[in-house]
Amino acid sequence: MDCVTCREVIQRYIDGELDDGRVVEFQRHLSFCGDCAAELQGIAAARAVLRAAREVTVDVPAGFADRVTAALEAQPEPSALERALATATGGVLPGRVPRRIRHYGYYVLAFAAVVIGLQRKYGHKPGEGEVKV
């Protein structure tokens, strides 16, 4: 198994959806590839935080979600020329953020809201050696 294939099946491995042969192949790859092992640890840790955060309630300012959605979707409709250029360049409009990247923005905002909620709930204060931003 190579790194590309390994990273494609990480989520399925965590969810227990791989057959025994693929699990062995996946684990064999992890035994000598520190990058993929670190990727697996990072994803597993992020999923654990999100699972734990299900019980956390976050008070966000009124209209926050609407303002974020409006800001992300504020791009005007592309002109006929821009659509033609996008078709020629593989779907990316010049000067525009690809839809896939915009969707990552939603995930980042949701994750930030969870982190802020956890900090508020548990009263995290920077300790010695931590930087207050």
Banded pLDDT at 25 (limits 50, 70, 90): very high
Q: What is the mean pLDDT of residues 10-17?
A: 87
pLDDT digits (tens, 9 = 90+) for 96-124: 555 566 666 677 777 877 777 777 766 65
Using the predicted structure, report yes or no on whether residue 126 has a pLDDT greater than 70. no
- Residues 6, 26: contact at Cβ < 8 Å? yes
Mean pLDDT of 75-82: 72
Largest separation between any pair of C-alpha atoms in the chain: 57
58, 117 contact by CB (below 8 A): yes
Determine the straight-line distance between the first and last CA of the chain, rounded to whole angstroms: 41
CA angle 33, 107, 132 (to 5 degrees): 85
Whole-angstrom distance, CA of residue 107 vs CA of residue 129: 29
Q: Give the distance from CA 81 to its chain's centroid.
A: 32
Query: Average pLDDT, stretch 12-26?
Result: 89
Nearest-angstrom CA–CA distance, 9 and 19: 11
d(CA 22, CA 91): 34
